[in-house]
């Protein structure tokens, strides 16, 4: 099995998928713009070959260079798990006549307006939305949809450049901040809890699935610096409060023509229990969500994804043992981290449940919290009881304080 894997070294978690591919017996041909000499030592043994390209996000150039590189070689798969590379991978599959998600299907996962149109056409609940390219179109769409509404990039990821708009003045301010974005989705604002539906699919059917809850919803976490955002995987997926979201998620997979691989969907649970679609990608969730799912079941989804993509099998147990919480911390102040307060007491109280503690240490430059959910590090913990896991996450969010100056 010969696999071309796009961007094997960055983002850093892609190194784990490269490892997984090698461990299930694939020869991995990596393509990236990381210089060959700068590839991590731990990654190199998992690569059969590597093509260094000048700009990994230059889709036309990458397709051309990979086609030339592979001339005369046989290849069985072209894969990508980074949001910005999934269309490039689909183009290469179509060029070489390889199995996997078609370019049209991938567009349905990448283009937020096309995505919602296909979901609504299947009779599933999704926010009312319109594609807008100009200020005039945005104003007209806002008039039809009504306030409050959400403006976000058609091809965005996460909550970057996403704005909640409640009146005309906020609309104008948001449009001013989106002038660098070519296409924007103007859509109905949905109020409710925000959760995920994550899968590893075989033939469009989940061989593994997961639900996690954002605390607070991402839009709030992205706009309030003082918040320590948390994400908690749900151990018990049989409970009624998540049933509608799971059913919605499975319907969305069919509506969008999912085949094999990871998906990461976000959905809303309204106060009346209605599940409303948010958006979905045909790739894994970021911000260590796959690590959380691994700790939930004590499995290795990096390897199991690779097994699915290469051999069409998922062999790990899917028994859910824990609710797993990750809490991202943001330092107070600017500059370098100077001290961390409350961590010792937290570890004394809850250390037996902590599976990872990766807070930036004193002397490390603080990260820009607007550019990364990872912020200034995280604590990950787990417990079989949801309420206890949530209480410990709240303690980590409120009793641990990082300072920078």
Q: What is the C-alpha separation between 305 and 269, in angstroms, rounded?
A: 28
Task: Give the CATH number, domain containing residue 297.
Answer: 3.30.470.20
Q: Does residue 253 lie within any of the structural domains?
A: yes
Q: Does residue 81 lie within any of the structural domains?
A: yes
The candidate with the shortest Cα–Cα distance to 14, out of 34, 24, 27, 1, is: 34
pTM comes to 0.94
Give the confidence band of 27 by pLDDT, cuts at 50, 70, 90: very high
Q: Are the beta carbons of 352 and 208 closer than 8 angstroms?
A: no
**330 token code pair:** 């943001």
**Domain C-terminal end among 188, 218, 234:** 188
Q: Looking at the structure, do residues 355 and 314 belong to the same domain, yes or no?
A: yes
Give the confidence band of 177 by pLDDT, cuts at 50, 70, 90: confident
Q: Looking at the structure, do residues 394 and 380 belong to the same domain, yes or no?
A: yes
Q: Looking at the structure, do residues 218 and 351 belong to the same domain, yes or no?
A: yes
Q: Does residue 160 lie within any of the structural domains?
A: yes
Q: Looking at the structure, do residues 288 and 350 belong to the same domain, yes or no?
A: yes
pLDDT at site 154: 81
Q: Looking at the structure, do residues 306 and 395 belong to the same domain, yes or no?
A: yes
pLDDT at site 179: 82
pLDDT at site 160: 66
Q: Are the beta carbons of 63 and 55 closer than 8 angstroms?
A: no
For the segment 339-386, what is each residue's pLDDT rounded down to a tens digit?
999 999 999 999 999 999 999 999 999 999 988 889 999 999 999 999
Helix (H, G, I), strand (E, B) or coil at 386: helix
Q: What is the C-alpha separation between 36 and 381, in angstroms, rounded?
A: 36
Where in the sequence is the domain holding 31, given as residue range(s)? 2-100
pLDDT over 80 (residue 155): no
Task: Give the CATH number, domain containing residue 33.
Answer: 3.40.50.20
The candidate with the shortest Cα–Cα distance to 34, out of 15, 20, 53, is: 53
Q: Per the structure, how many domains does the chain have? A: 3
pLDDT over 60 (residue 277): yes
pLDDT at site 258: 98
pLDDT at site 48: 98
Beta-ladder partners of 399: none
Helix (H, G, I), strand (E, B) or coil at 345: helix
Give the confidence band of 156 by pLDDT, cuts at 50, 70, 90: low
Give the confidence band of 399 by pLDDT, cuts at 50, 70, 90: very high
pLDDT at site 232: 98
Q: Does residue 47 lie within any of the structural domains?
A: yes
Beta-ladder partners of 365: 336
**Domain C-terminal end among 57, 85, 100:** 100
pLDDT at site 197: 98
Q: Looking at the structure, do residues 181 and 215 belong to the same domain, yes or no?
A: no
Q: Does residue 107 lie within any of the structural domains?
A: no
Q: Looking at the structure, do residues 343 and 374 belong to the same domain, yes or no?
A: yes
CA distances in angstroms from 363 to 49, 333, 369, 404, listed in the order given? 38, 13, 17, 9
Percent of the chain with pLDDT over 90: 91
Q: Looking at the structure, do residues 281 and 364 belong to the same domain, yes or no?
A: yes
pLDDT over 90 (residue 108): yes
Over the chain, what is the mean pLDDT? 96
Q: Looking at the structure, do residues 357 and 233 belong to the same domain, yes or no?
A: yes
Q: Looking at the structure, do residues 14 and 145 belong to the same domain, yes or no?
A: no
Q: Mean per-residue pLDDT for 277-293?
A: 97
Q: Mean per-residue pLDDT for 312-317?
A: 98
Q: Looking at the structure, do residues 396 and 320 belong to the same domain, yes or no?
A: yes
Q: Does residue 117 lie within any of the structural domains?
A: no
**Domain C-terminal end among 163, 188, 213:** 188
Give the confidence band of 101 by pLDDT, cuts at 50, 70, 90: very high
pLDDT at site 30: 98
pLDDT over 90 (residue 316): yes
Greater pLDDT, 206 or 219: 206
Q: What is the C-alpha separation between 13 and 33, in angstroms, rounded?
A: 16
Task: Give the CATH number, domain containing residue 178.
Answer: 3.30.1490.20
Q: Looking at the structure, do residues 217 and 358 belong to the same domain, yes or no?
A: yes
DSSP 245-273: HHHHHHHHHHHTT--SEEEEEEEEE-TTS
Percent of the chain with pLDDT over 70: 99
**312 token code pair:** 């069409």
- For residues 347-367, one letter each, b for 16 or more C-beta atoms within 10 angstroms of the residue's C-beta and e for the rest, the string is eeebeebebbbebbeeeeebb
Other CB atoms closer than 10 Å to residue 251's CB: what's the count? 17
Helix (H, G, I), strand (E, B) or coil at 201: strand
Helix (H, G, I), strand (E, B) or coil at 224: coil
């Amino acid at each position: 099995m010969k696999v071309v894997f796009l961007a094997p070294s960055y983002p850093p978690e892609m190194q784990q998928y490269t490892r997984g591919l090698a461990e299930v017996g694939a020869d991995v041909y990596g393509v990236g713009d990381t210089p060959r000499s700068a590839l991590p030592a731990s990654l190199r043994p998992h690569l059969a070959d590597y093509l260094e390209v000048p700009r990994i996000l230059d889709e036309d150039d990458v397709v051309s260079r990979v086609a030339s590189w592979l001339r005369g070689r046989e290849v069985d798969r072209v894969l990508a798990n980074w949001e910005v590379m999934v269309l490039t991978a689909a183009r290469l599959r179509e060029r070489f006549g390889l199995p996997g998600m078609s370019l049209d299907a991938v567009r349905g996962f990448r283009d937020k307006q096309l995505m919602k149109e296909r979901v609504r056409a299947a009779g599933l609940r999704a926010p009312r939305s319109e594609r807008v390219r100009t200020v005039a179109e945005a104003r007209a769409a806002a008039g039809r949809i009504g306030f409050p509404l959400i403006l976000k990039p058609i091809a965005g990821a996460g909550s970057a450049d996403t704005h909640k708009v409640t009146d005309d003045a906020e609309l104008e301010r948001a449009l001013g901040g989106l002038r660098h974005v070519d296409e924007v989705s103007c859509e109905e604002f949905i109020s409710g809890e925000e959760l995920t539906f994550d899968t590893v699919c075989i033939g469009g059917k989940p061989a593994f699935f997961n639900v996690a809850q954002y605390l607070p919803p991402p839009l709030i976490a992205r706009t309030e610096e003082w918040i320590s955002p948390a994400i908690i995987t749900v151990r018990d997926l049989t409970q009624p409060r998540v049933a509608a979201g799971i059913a919605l998620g499975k319907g969305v997979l069919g509506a969008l023509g999912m085949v094999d691989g990871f998906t990461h969907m976000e959905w809303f649970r309204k106060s009346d229990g209605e599940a409303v679609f948010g958006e979905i990608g045909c790739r894994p969730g970021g911000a260590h969500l796959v690590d959380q799912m691994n700790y939930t079941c004590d499995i290795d989804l990096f390897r199991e994804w690779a097994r699915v993509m290469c051999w069409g099998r998922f062999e790990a147990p899917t028994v859910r043992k824990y609710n797993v919480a990750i809490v991202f911390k943001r330092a107070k102040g600017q500059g370098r981290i100077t001290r961390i307060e409350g961590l010792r007491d937290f570890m004394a109280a809850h250390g037996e449940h902590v599976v990872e503690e990766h807070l930036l240490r004193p002397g490390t430059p603080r990260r820009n919290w607007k550019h990364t959910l990872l912020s200034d590090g995280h604590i990950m913990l787990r417990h079989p009881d949801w309420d206890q896991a949530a209480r410990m996450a709240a303690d980590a969010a409120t009793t641990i304080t990082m300072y920078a100056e």
